Amino acid sequence: MSKLGIKPIIINKDVTVKQNGNFLSFEGKKGKMEIKIIPYIKVDLADNQIKISPTVSTKQSAANWGTMASLIMNAMKGVSEGFSKTLIIEGVGYRAALEGNRLVLNLGFSHPVNYEIPSDIKIEVEKNTIIRVFGVDKEKVGKVASDIRNFKKPEPYKGKGIHYDNEVIRRKVGKKVAGATAS
């Protein structure tokens, strides 16, 4: 039994939802989104609510029930408010810039790293070291932020690299010189 799926989902005032066969279409002030209905799940639109129920009683249908509820809630939040992730670049000479539809990153390599921005994602760069990724689809925003972070993950000794805004980097102690005394 799904704790999320059993509750009806109330549709926001500024979001319109339509069911087109095996797809649900969401439209709001931030954009449009379409999600596919997962197998073994039945979706009913009525009285400004979305009701989800499994069509068969199996372990997989129970798992899909909660997943579908979560996908619908994320889609509604995405088209009404949107999602964002913030990345911070740390390191001497490390910086980012936007050039048209590309994000250019200087990360200490012998060449700049170019990242093509997907059409439904918006990226802003502040102070050359703060990158903000915006979009309607939570999964795509997370994927783009993860792709950018993977160009130069933060290293544990000085913390240089690209990290999420709220990420805690576990620091390691560097080399200690044997026999050195503090005078």
Mean pLDDT of 123-144: 91
- Report the distance separating Cα 24 and Cα 26, nearest Å: 7
- Report the distance separating Cα 162 and Cα 172, nearest Å: 17
Of all residues in the chain, the percent with pLDDT exceeding 90 is 14
Instruction: Output the pTM of the full model.
Output: 0.79
- Which domains are seen in the chain, by residue range? 9-80 (3.90.930.12), 83-164 (3.90.930.12)
HSE, side-chain direction, 13 A CA sphere, residue 170: 0
Q: What pLDDT, in 10s, does the model give residues 140-172?
A: 999 999 998 888 888 888 888 888 898 888 888
| pLDDT value, residue 2 | 64
**CA gyration radius, the chain:** 22
Alpha helices in 86-129 (DSSP H): none
